[in-house]
Amino acid sequence: MKHRLFNTLSVLSSVLFVATAILWVRSYWQSDFIQVLTAPTCFIFGTIRGEVGVAVALHEPVDKVSSPKFLWETGRPYSLRELADEMTVTQAGGFAILHQPLLLTSLWGIALPCWFVMGITALPAISLVCKRSRNAFRKRRNICLKCGYDLRATPNRCPECGAIPTGSKVTT
């Protein structure tokens, strides 16, 4: 069960890696903003010229929203400098914190460089590839997959951890 969950996580992270790469390239030609409107909160996901931003806007409910509404806006690419004219932007090393206090709304958000998001989403897939290559190396060398003990003298069971190698026949 644990292996299946990790494999699913690795595939999902690979999909997110590719999606982030596509958004990174697209963000230099077009900005995308996806908004999810609920009663007192608005969640915003967007691309800002090489960066991915996530924001939460808390506002006074003007009218009751019975179900969440989704909005997708596209437009010309923004940069963080242009957003600094409209809101407070604290930026360091490509990372940014956004804040926009208004009369009835308060918006807080973060902007992360796309390369950082791609690196984070690549980690599970990289660890899966490393684990599989390590296991293939150990199988070729007749080494225990769990603890790394040399199994040439005892090919049916590992004397170190007690694991039974795959493909071996144990007689009791």
| Digit-coded pLDDT (tens) for 3-41 | 788 888 889 999 999 999 999 999 999 988 898 887 778
DSSP 90-159: EEETTEEEEEEE-SSEEEEEEEEEHHHHHHHHHHHHHHHHHHHHHHHHHHHTTB-TTT--B-SS-SSS-T
Residues 98 and 159 occupy one common structural domain: no
Residues 95 and 48 occupy one common structural domain: yes
| Digit-coded pLDDT (tens) for 32-50 | 889 888 777 888 898 888 8
Residues 107 and 147 occupy one common structural domain: no
Domain that holds residue 155: 141-172
What is the number of residues in the chain?
Answer: 172
With respect to residue 126, please indicate whether it lies within any of the assigned structural domains.
Answer: no
With respect to residue 136, please indicate whether it lies within any of the assigned structural domains.
Answer: no
Residues 95 and 155 occupy one common structural domain: no
Look up the pTM and report it: 0.72
Looking at the structure of the chain, the number of domains it has is: 2
Residues 25 and 110 occupy one common structural domain: yes
